[in-house]
Amino acid sequence: MLVFQNEGKPFGIEDEENFKKFIEAYVECNINKSKENLIEIVYDYKDHKIWLAKLAVRPGHILTEYKNLPEKLISCKETFPKLFEYYKNVIIPAMRNTLHVLNRLNYSSRKLKFEELTDRLKSAIINSKISLQEKIVKFLKIVNNDKNSKIFHKLDMFQMQDILCNGNILKIGNIQNIEEEFYIERKFVKIIPNNNSDNDKYINSNEFLSLPHIRAQAEQSKLIMISDKAGYGKTTTLKNLCKELKNSYPEYFVFYVDLKSRIEIYEKYEKTFLNIAQDKDHTKIKPILLSF
């Protein structure tokens, strides 16, 4: 799994050439499986998804099992020539390249850079999962398929080691000065007045608002409220809104104020906020916010 980073399959995710070659070996082994027990047991597993991974390690198993039985080894190689050829020409070289780099990751006193990795290890990192803005996504998704994105070159040796050796999900905020450069779009449901009921003054509409819609509203309204649970992207959306507005209107000052750091103001108006929440009349909060 470490070498190819493809759920145990003995070829890279985008490696169509070696995929075809190994499938040919797989078919050949399936046809002749009854001639060798170490091959036959691969196809006895109930979970077909692991057959490719199990078959990939069989040549090594056979070489170890029959190292003192040359006639048996020759017979296996003649019966499954495509499998042994693939093991020799693809798997062994890939393992050597990978182990060489991983040894440097583990023991080198000099910091290893992303551009020094083999193409296979670069691909493994590019296709690994990361945590960004409370979402689990692939690296490749946030860089829009740009494999040369500067984000990869900002990874330090220990972060690459954590991905390649431990399979951990990297938190993007741990990469210096990088989180603000990426944004996973959120969509919010627009709340509208309910004119048909005295119980609920506001109801959900069928209209979903993304960042462009919120920006359009911000250019027309003095006050916009975004409300949701923790981790759903409110802060991230507002930070990106500030950035877009500043880029469009560089002559204006755009401020981002973290109200959590102004807790004394909340405490001053706590009862008022609670009354507004119970009354569900959000219009009453406007004069309070303007008084800050």
Q: What CA–CA distance (Å, rounded) separates 81 from 85? A: 6
- Domain ranges for the chain, please list them: 16-107, 114-179, 185-256, 259-292
**pLDDT at residue 29, rounded to an integer:** 94
More confident residue, 107 or 233: 233
**pLDDT at residue 25, rounded to an integer:** 93
**pLDDT greater than 70 at residue 83:** yes
Radius of gyration of the chain (CA): 29
**pLDDT at residue 291, rounded to an integer:** 61
**pLDDT greater than 90 at residue 59:** yes
**pLDDT at residue 284, rounded to an integer:** 63
User: Is residue 10 exposed (0-12), middle (13-18) or buried (19+ Cβ within 10 Å)?
Assistant: buried
**pLDDT at residue 192, rounded to an integer:** 76
Asked if 216 contacts 170 with a C-beta cutoff of 8 angstroms, the reply is no
Residues of the chain with pLDDT > 70: what percent? 70
Q: What is the pLDDT of residues 86-103, one digit of tens each?
A: 999 998 888 877 766 666
**pLDDT at residue 286, rounded to an integer:** 62
Q: What is the pLDDT of residues 221-262, one digit of tens each?
A: 777 888 777 766 777 788 888 888 888 888 888 887 776 766
**pLDDT at residue 21, rounded to an integer:** 93
Q: What CA–CA distance (Å, rounded) separates 23 from 25? A: 5
**pLDDT at residue 32, rounded to an integer:** 94
In whole numbers, what is the pLDDT of the chain averaged over residues? 77
Q: What is the pLDDT of residues 130-166, one digit of tens each?
A: 876 667 777 777 665 555 567 777 777 778 877 777 7
